[in-house]
Amino acid sequence: MADHPSNKRSLDNDPLVDQEEEEEDDIGPMLPPPTPEQPRKKKRVLAHEKLYLSHLPAADMYEKSYMHRDTLSYVVASAKNDFIVTTSVDGHLKFWKKTANNIEFVKHYRAHMANITGLNISADGELLATISDDMSMKVFDITNFDMINMIKLGYKPKSVCWIHQQGQAQALIAVSEADTSKIHLYDGRAEGKPLHTIDNLHSQPVHLIAFNWRFNCVVSVDTQGMVEYWSPENPFDLPKSVGFELKSETDLYEFRKSKSTPTSLTFSNDGLKFVTMSFPDRQVRVFKFLTGKMIRKYDESLHVISEMQQAGTAIHKLDDMEFGRRLAVDRELEKSPAASFVNAVFDESNNFIVYATLLGIKMVNIRTNKVARLIGKSETHRFLNVTLYQGAPKKKGVYTLAMAASDNTTLKESEMVDPTLLTTAFKRNRFFIFTRREPYDDEGQQKGDRDVFNEKPSREEQTVAGTQERKQILGTHAILRTTSGDIHIRLLPDVAPKAVENFVTHAKNGYYDNLIFHRVIKGFMIQTGCPFGDGTGGESIWGDDFEDEVTREVRHDRPYTVSMANAGPNTNGSQFFITVVPTPWLDNKHTIFGRATAGMDVVHEIEHVRVDKNDKPYEDIKIINIEIR
Catalytic position from the list 164, 207, 519, 595? 519
Catalytic position from the list 168, 216, 566, 625? 566
| 598 vs 160: CA distance, rounded Å | 51
Tell me if residue 577 is catalytic. Answer: yes
Catalytic position from the list 283, 351, 527, 575? 527
Catalytic position from the list 323, 383, 577, 593? 577
Tell me if residue 519 is catalytic. Answer: yes
| 206 vs 157: CA distance, rounded Å | 10
Catalytic position from the list 352, 590, 593, 595? 590
Element at 309 (helix H, strand E): helix 302-311
**567-572: Cβ within 8 A, 24+ apart:** 570/545, 570/546, 571/545, 572/499, 572/502, 572/540, 572/545, 572/546, 572/547, 572/548
Tell me if residue 140 is catalytic. Answer: no
- Helix, strand, or coil here: 545? coil
Tell me if residue 590 is catalytic. Answer: yes
Q: State the maximum Cα–Cα separation within the chain, in Å, rounded to a whole number.
A: 117
Catalytic position from the list 524, 555, 604, 625? 524
What b/e readout covers 598-609, taking b as 16+ CB neighbours within 10 angstroms?
ebeebbeebbeb
| 20 vs 31: CA distance, rounded Å | 15
Q: Which residue type, as a one-letter code, is found at position 251? A: D
Q: How far is CA 113 from CA 73, 134, 138, in A?
A: 15, 6, 12
Q: Are 105 and 94 in contact (CB under 8 A)?
A: yes
State the DSSP string of 83-133: EEEEEETTSEEEEEEE-SSSEEEEEEEE--SS-EEEEEE-TTS-EEEEEET
Tell me if residue 527 is catalytic. Answer: yes
Tell me if residue 575 is catalytic. Answer: no
Q: Are 416 and 395 in contact (CB under 8 A)?
A: yes
Catalytic position from the list 272, 290, 374, 586? 586
Q: What angle do CA 437, 441, 446 make, to 5 degrees?
A: 95
| 550 vs 579: CA distance, rounded Å | 17
Which residues are marked as active site?
A: 519, 524, 527, 566, 577, 586, 590
